[in-house]
Structure 1
Amino acid sequence: MIDRRRFLLATAGWLAAACAGRARAGADASPAAGASVWAPYSQAMPIDGCAFLGNDGGEADAPLTPAVIADVRDSGLRALQVTVGPVARYENAYESTVRDLAYWEREFARHPDLLLPVRNAADLQRAHRERKLGIVFQFQDSAPIGEKLERVDDFQRLGVRTVQLTYNLRNLAGDGCMEPGDAGLSRFGQQLIERLNERRLLLDLAHSGRRTALEAIAASKAPVLISHTGCAALVERPRNKTDAELRAVAGGGGVVGIYLMPFLREQGQATAADVIAHLEHAVRVCGEDHVGIGTDNALSPVRLTEAYKRMHRDTVRERRRLGVSAPGEHEDVYLFVPELNHARRFERIAALLARRGHSDARIGKLLGGNFARVMSEVWG
């Protein structure tokens, strides 16, 4: 199965090698070039609620290369949630997830000066203090847990800290956003949420069906995330969340992350202006304490080569064949925002928000302060 996560992992690294040193120059030529720097960035706590680190060879288990590590340093991010385990696949999901976790343990050993596993609030604080990139293990489907609730305990001990309930399709826990029946949370899903609450793991409702999301928010005794989404009030897409869902997350103390995906506009390539529009709408609905950024992008920039276009086209076709493709996925609309196609995209977003009159305090919350607060509250 070709899923978006594998596609991004495969392309980001080998494209990063070609882009390194040129991405910033390309970004400076964009229409937003006058808003590139936000002075407080070095003191902020930028957290990407959903992102990927690629490998130059195109192999998902290849060591991170110097080009990718350079992008990590340049990004200024203090934490990001990386996906471990498969999506929309139960067969060997547990074993696959364990292999992913082992891969990251090797990378932590290779780069102790830069990468830091995040398990609790103290680790987030340490990443900020030592200017490292904290890595949070995140599921984008509860498939690795299967129907065995005791696996929540296993994965908690192995370092997983955020569990997304569903991907696009129906699973044992509930309906994803592509299920037309939108049947909501299952009995097992309710039990799973109870277990996640007990073990102090964050519940993530990205990709969930709308009824599933509202029922899960109501069932959770802890704040929840929607780590990467857009606003359905601006663009009606299954992957985007309604104002009712956004309010429910905020009402429970959680955070909604806005992504950098094609679903931010009706057609064509998403722009930085689209990202800002969705962030501002989410702030109006949720309040400034309940919005963040989850790019759903590779951290390294993308170079729009013929090889990239071909791989993107093949991935979209395969996702359609498997029934996991969402409306708004097109063969000629790519998974990045041109003006933000560089590792330091969070500072560019901050500068654009500042230019529109948002205060430094609010911008700091949106860049990651809100994620840090909720993560610390739930993980302890």
Structure 2
Amino acid sequence: YGFQNGAMMGKDASRVDIFADLGVRVFQLTYNPANQLGDGSMAPENRGLTSFGREVVARANARRVMVDLSHSGEKTCLDAARTSTAPISINHTGCRAVTDLPRNKTDAELRLVAERGGFVGIYFMPFLNVSGHARAEDVVAHIDHAVNICGEDHVGIGTDGDVSQIDDLKAYEAVLAEEIARRRAAGISAAGERPDTYPFVVDLRGPDQFRKLVRLLEARGYSARRIEKILGANFLRFAQDVWGG
């Protein structure tokens, strides 16, 4: 199990122990806004990890809880990577050098996380393309850039969603519009979220999506071994490094 926000920590870093004992193994420090641990990707101040955030990271390291910075601001991510004694993850993101949106990570973030032994997962989300309608070719472009920055041993897939096909798109669009409105009202939405965007890659859905991705990576010249790493071997190794076993 994992959290996508550290707000429930209050002011007590020992709560990490409570959650770890209950089975939490992934701890994302912030969501899109700022909290008491650090700034999220949509916090304009970009203030970095707080002193309390450093306490939480240290406690998570002690309990072998994976520290994740997918939604953090740039300085918070860089601070956490430098502070953590264990490798950290950005397990669902894109590359800002490819698509300049706040939910995507800068080369500095990607590089430092990889240098510290961490993991970067490329998501299947609309933020891969400024149009808000990501396609399979966008996924490949972001994977390719991440591999160039991080090396092939630190990049994988972090879809940030399910893998099922949507049969009734019109009905789904109505529900999605309500969800986007709710997120905006709560102040948790990200730049690039609109009622007409889909939280998935439009031509990479259903049971064949990963086979299609393999074919696209092969066409880009990726070896079978590199593809195997991206499709799961890298995350498995990283998870073993953090969790043990």
Task: Give the alignment's TM-score, normalised by structure 1.
Answer: 0.63
Name the structure 1 match of 2:59.
195
Name the structure 1 match of 2:125.
261
Query: Aligned with 1:310: secondary structure?
Result: helix
Query: Aligned with 1:340: secondary structure?
Result: coil
Q: Percent same amino acid among aligned pairs?
A: 50
Name the structure 2 match of 1:237.
101
Query: Aligned with 2:25: secondary structure?
Result: strand
Q: CA deviation at 1:304?
A: 4.3
- Does 146-155 or 212-221 show the bigger shift? 146-155
User: How far apart are the structure 2 equivalents of 1:152 and 1:329?
Assistant: 31
Which residue identity is paired with 1:236? D
- Does 319-328 or 288-297 show the bigger shift? 319-328
| Larger Rg, first or second structure (1 or 2) | 1
Q: CA deviation at 1:315?
A: 1.1
User: How far apart are the structure 2 equivalents of 1:312 and 1:227?
Assistant: 23
The answer to whether the 8 A contact 2:99-2:129 is kept is: yes
User: How far apart are the structure 2 equivalents of 1:172 and 1:368?
Assistant: 33
Structure 2 residue 155 is the aligned partner of structure 1 residue 291: yes
Query: Aligned with 1:227: secondary structure?
Result: strand
User: How far apart are the structure 1 equivalents of 2:119 and 2:40?
Assistant: 19
User: How far apart are the structure 2 equivalents of 1:229 and 1:352?
Assistant: 20
Alignment of 1:207-286 (within 5 A): 207-286=71-150
1:1-40, Cα deviation, whole Å (9 max, x unpaired): xxxxxxxxxxxxxxxxxxxxxxxxxxxxxxxxxxxxxxxx
Which residue identity is paired with 1:279? I
Choose from 321, 326, 329 the match for 2:185.
321
Query: Aligned with 2:153: secondary structure?
Result: helix
Query: Aligned with 2:133: secondary structure?
Result: coil
The answer to whether the 8 A contact 1:229-1:256 is kept is: yes
Name the structure 1 match of 2:13.
149
1:154-201, Cα deviation, whole Å (9 max, x unpaired): 221221111111000111111001100011111100000000111111
RCO higher in 1 or 2 (8 Å CA, sep ≥ 6)? Answer: 1
1:221-252, Cα deviation, whole Å (9 max, x unpaired): 11000010000001111100000000000010
Say if 1:347 and 1:146 are closer, same or farther in 2 by CA, change over 3 A.
farther
Name the structure 1 match of 2:232.
368
User: How far apart are the structure 2 equivalents of 1:216 and 1:271?
Assistant: 31
Query: Aligned with 1:280: secondary structure?
Result: helix
User: How far apart are the structure 2 equivalents of 1:138 and 1:347?
Assistant: 28
Say if 1:198 and 1:268 are closer, same or farther in 2 by CA, change over 3 A.
closer
Which residue identity is paired with 2:75? R
Name the structure 2 match of 1:19.
none
The answer to whether the 8 A contact 1:302-1:336 is kept is: no
User: How far apart are the structure 1 equivalents of 2:22 and 2:163?
Assistant: 24
Gaps of 5+ in 1: 1-136
The answer to whether the 8 A contact 2:132-2:193 is kept is: no
Query: Aligned with 2:67: secondary structure?
Result: strand
Name the structure 2 match of 1:348.
212
Aligned pair count reads: 244
- Does 301-310 or 322-331 show the bigger shift? 301-310
The answer to whether the 8 A contact 2:132-2:192 is kept is: no
The answer to whether the 8 A contact 2:135-2:203 is kept is: yes
Alignment of 1:156-195 (within 5 A): 156-195=20-59
User: How far apart are the structure 2 equivalents of 1:343 and 1:139?
Assistant: 27
- Does 291-300 or 251-260 show the bigger shift? 291-300
The answer to whether the 8 A contact 1:231-1:243 is kept is: yes
Which residue identity is paired with 1:340? L
Q: CA deviation at 1:316?
A: 1.1
Q: CA deviation at 1:343?
A: 3.6
1:71-125, Cα deviation, whole Å (9 max, x unpaired): xxxxxxxxxxxxxxxxxxxxxxxxxxxxxxxxxxxxxxxxxxxxxxxxxxxxxxx
Which residue identity is paired with 2:153? D
Name the Cα RMSD after superposition. 1.2
Which residue identity is paired with 2:130? E
Name the structure 2 match of 1:138.
2
Say if 1:343 and 1:188 are closer, same or farther in 2 by CA, change over 3 A.
farther
User: How far apart are the structure 2 equivalents of 1:347 and 1:168?
Assistant: 32
Which residue identity is paired with 2:15? R
Say if 1:354 and 1:317 are closer, same or farther in 2 by CA, change over 3 A.
same
User: How far apart are the structure 1 equivalents of 2:7 and 2:132?
Assistant: 32
Say if 1:304 and 1:236 are closer, same or farther in 2 by CA, change over 3 A.
farther
Task: Give the alignment's TM-score, normalised by structure 2.
Answer: 0.96
Which residue identity is paired with 2:46? D
